[in-house]
Amino acid sequence: MLLPKFDFHEPTTVAEACQIIAEYREKAGILAGGTDLLVAMKKKQISPQHLVSIGRIDELRKLDSSSGMLKIGACFTVADTAASEVIGKKWGALRAGARALGSPQIRNLATIGGNLVSASSAADLPGSLISYGARVVLTSTSKTRVVPLDQFFLGSRRTEIGYDEILTEIQIDEPPPYSGAGYISLGIRASQDIKIVNVASFITLDSSGKTIRNARIVLGCVGPTHLRAASAEKLLIGEGPSEAVFAKAAEAAIRDSAPRGARYSRASAGYKRAMVGELTRRTLGIAWKEALE
Amino acid sequence: MKKIIRLTVNNEEHQLAVEPNQTLLDMLRDQLGLTGAKKGCEMGECGACTVIMDGITVNSCLVLAMQANGKRITTIEGLETEQGLHPIQKAFIEKGAIQCGFCTSGMILSAKVLLDKNPKPTEEEIRSALSGNLCRCTGYQKIVEAVQSVSEDDVGPARQES
Ligand code: FES
Ligand code: FES
């Protein structure tokens, strides 16, 4: 299966990369890990005339948690995300997502930035990142802007990113004390699978552990983008954490979701709804346990 | 337009002129004649094209030759030494882990990276390390047994010296 022809650019700095895409605009494609982009090009879904590889830009591969905030370079790989101790310790739901993604070979190539820019609601990293309140940094020759991740996705395969912008960094604040998060994605097989439903839940308790102060629940594969389960979140805030409350939140999350049926998707709408409920309940349980640790 | 890249394949340095849209897989097979890496799906799904690049496994159908510039690549052809086949290769033969053989090079390279890092993996760790390599023939059981037998044999460098 041949790749369409293109000119290849391999800048070594972000500034240089921005200049190249500012020049070619919609004719340019940005190559990070290539696990989505090259497949789409082989299928002739897209054929950029200029491919700008950002894989050799060192500043995009870093992981920095020195400022109380986690800053992840866009080209940090999914395998490194899954293996990172810092991420595992404070952002366990992100690690769970990274571990669930693709296969070992895919995780070695795929990047965290690429998983976001691909803008698929079946992707494994956006859910937990949104639940942690992550932001993305978009850089162009003229400006840098920071966009909350839950405003970044505009639709299936559509994002806030302009033709002249590169997603350079993901920022996540350290979760407040008594917080926890869980992520589960359900596929037909354990590996190399596009997911049927994925759910990320994040909660913050008060210092007594008796009241939920904040909750964010993010549902994947049940709409064109990841969705916040707004009524489930509202229901949880102010309540005491318990299996019974989580079961009610799960019911609310089912109502918040809008899956399409099997004609368009990998599972029937009814099955997806049921799984939204179950995964919401389970991820809230994981989040609760982590919040008490 | 072709560009010149330099890379090390199986400990040999090469300088090659490659097209931008040429994959590492095509370069290995067509320009270097290393046909051990197989062309299966070409979409990153089957793992038949697995090679080791700078110590990690990748699907060479999803890597541009130009992205491999400056890298160290190991293909299945690089595993055999003067002493003969690599212990994992021997184990695959002995345990009947090869039927048609199409998945074998990828399987063995994935197993090698696992055993280099973790010489005594559990069955679950083996299955997860091989989860990006599909096999249509064996049902995986014998492949897992072959990898297990190598880890039990203790072929680590410490043993080899003694
Ligand atoms: S040929 Fe590369 S993964 Fe199938
Ligand atoms: S032996 Fe035939 S595909 Fe594995």
Question: Domain containing B38 — which CATH number?
Answer: 3.10.20.30
**Ligand 1 surroundings by CB, under 6 angstroms:** B 39-42, 44-49, 59, 61
The answer to whether residues A54 and A11 touch, using CB atoms and an 8 Å cutoff, is: yes
Q: In the structure encoding, which two tokens stand for residue A212, read together? A: 């939920």
Residues B66, B13 share a domain: yes
The domains located in chain A, with CATH, are 7-53 (3.30.43.10), 58-173 (3.30.465.10), 179-292 (3.30.390.50)
Contact B131 A192 (CB under 8 A): yes
* Residue B60 Cβ contacting ligand 2 at under 6 Å: no
Supply A98's token pair: 């990274």
Statement to judge: residues B95 and B49 lie in one domain: no
Beta carbons of A42 and B45 less than 8 Å apart: no
d(CA B83, CA B97): 22
Please indicate, yes or no, whether residues B74 and B132 belong to a single structural domain of this protein. Answer: no
Q: Say if residue B13 is in the same domain as residue B31.
A: yes
For residue B66, the enclosing domain spans 3-78
pLDDT, tens only, A180-227: 999 999 987 766 667 799 999 999 999 999 999 999 999 999 989 999
| Mean pLDDT over the full length of chain B | 94
For A91-125, b/e burial (b = at least 16 CB within 10 A) is bbbbbbbbbbbbbbbbbbbbbbbbbbbbbbbbbbb
Q: Is A285 on the interface with B (CB under 8 A)?
A: no
Element (H, E) at B89: helix B87-94
- Report which of A111, A272, A130 is spatially closest to residue A200, judged by C-alpha positions: A130
Contact A39, B44 (CB under 8 A): yes
**Is the same domain home to B36 and B8?**
yes
Q: Which atom of ligand 1 is nearest to the CA of B47?
A: 3
pLDDT at A194: 73
Taking the centre of ligand 2 as the mean of its atom positions, its distance from the CA of residue B107, in whole angstroms, is 9
Residue A81 near residue A170, CB atoms below 8 Å: no
Check whether residue B104 and residue B138 sit in a common domain: yes
Statement to judge: residues B43 and B93 lie in one domain: no
Distance CA(A62)–CA(A74), nearest Å, equals 8
Rounded Cα distance, B5 and B153, in Å: 40
**Confidence band for A293, pLDDT divided at 50, 70 and 90:** confident
Cα separation, B104 vs B97, whole angstroms: 8
| d(CA B132, ligand 1 centre) in Å | 10
Going by the DSSP 8-state scheme, the letter that residue B27 receives in this structure is I
Question: CA-to-CA distance for B76 and A214, rounded, in angstroms?
Answer: 52
**DSSP 8-state class, residue A224:** S
Integer Cα distance of B90 and B113 in angstroms: 16
Residue A59 to residue A132: CA distance in whole angstroms: 23
pLDDT > 80? residue B162: no
**Stretch A10-23: mean pLDDT, rounded?**
98
Give the full edge-to-edge strand order of the sheet including A7-9: A7-9, A50-53, A28-31
Question: Is residue B157 predicted with pLDDT exceeding 60?
Answer: no
Q: End-to-end CA distance of chain B, in Å?
A: 53
Which of residues B28, B60, B78 is at a domain's end?
Answer: B78
* Whether A51 and B62 lie within 8 Å, measured CB to CB: no
Residue A218 CA to residue A183 CA, distance in Å, equals 9
- Tokens coding B30: 């067509």
Indicate the residue among B78, B102, B124 that finishes a domain: B78
Residue A59 contacts B, CB cutoff 8 Å: no
* A235 CA distance to ligand 2 middle (Å): 52
Task: Tell which atom from ligand 2 comes closest to the C-alpha of B101.
Answer: 1
* Residues of B in Cβ contact (< 8 Å) with A55: 67
Average pLDDT, chain A: 95
Residues B16 and B38 in one domain: yes
How many residue contacts between A and B have a Cβ separation below 8 Å? Answer: 84
- A 92-111 residues with CB < 8 A to B: 102-106, 108-109
Please give the pLDDT value at position A266.
74
> What is the number of structural domains in chain B?
2
What per-residue confidence (pLDDT) applies to B92?
98
The pLDDT tens digits for B59-94 are 999 999 999 999 999 999 999 999 999 999 999 999
pLDDT class for A264, splitting at 50, 70, 90? low
C-alpha angle A82-B67-B55 in degrees, rounded to nearest 5:
45
Give the tens place of pLDDT for each residue, A234-261.
999 999 999 999 999 999 999 999 887 7
Do B9 and B37 lie in one domain? The reply is yes
CATH for B128: 1.10.150.120
Are B43 and A108 in contact (CB < 8 Å)?
A: no
HSE at residue B25, side-chain half, CA atoms within 13 A, is 22
**Alpha-carbon distance A98 to A96, whole Å?**
5
pLDDT at residue B158 greater than cutoff 50: no
Rg (CA), chain A: 19
Question: Which among A8, A35, A190 has CB closest to B131?
Answer: A190
